A = this chain, B = another copy of it.
Amino acid sequence: MSRKHSADDPAALQAAVAGFVRAFGLHQTETTPCGQPISVSEAHAMGELAQDGELRQVELTRRLRLQKSTVSRLVGQLTGRGWVERAQAEDDGRGVVLRLTPAGRQAAQNLAEARRERFARLLDSIPAHERAGVLHAFDVMREAWDGDR
């Protein structure tokens, strides 16, 4: 596929990442790569909430790496859908605690299922002997990126 490139050539890595990004359609904002009618950030937010049960809004902001204003609006949309409810933090009068409603839990489950199916199909297309390596690679990349940013 890619032209001759050593593994130590930055251009090779760049090309590989760029290809991946484009293929996944990560610049298309209003649809999740898995085809769900929900924005990527919303999907991520739902994932975090489903996983943690309860989450401080500021913590969600940190995890999503967005501005607090953006997250505020984002959460507003999710509550608008009836998926999330806000509550006052007990230990901090300023804080907002986010929690999934029953409908939200259902939605998160559906999202997770769709995602699981999509990724299961994807996984099927990855030769079995490559899987562990691929998985590992993304972790390595994320850590490396965080490490020197």
Contact = CB atoms under 8 A, between A and B. Distances in A.
Interface of A: 1-2, 5, 7-8, 10-14, 16-27, 29, 40-41, 44, 47, 63-66, 112, 115-128, 130-148
Contacts of A112: 11
Given A13-B119, A134-B137, 20 more contacts: A7-B132, A8-B128, A8-B131, A11-B116, A13-B123, A13-B134, A13-B135, A14-B116, A16-B135, A19-B138, A20-B138, A20-B141, A27-B66, A124-B148, A125-B145, A126-B141, A126-B144, A127-B140, A133-B140, A137-B137
Nearest to A127: B140
A44 B128 CA distance: 31
Contact of A7 (B24, B29, B122, B131): B131
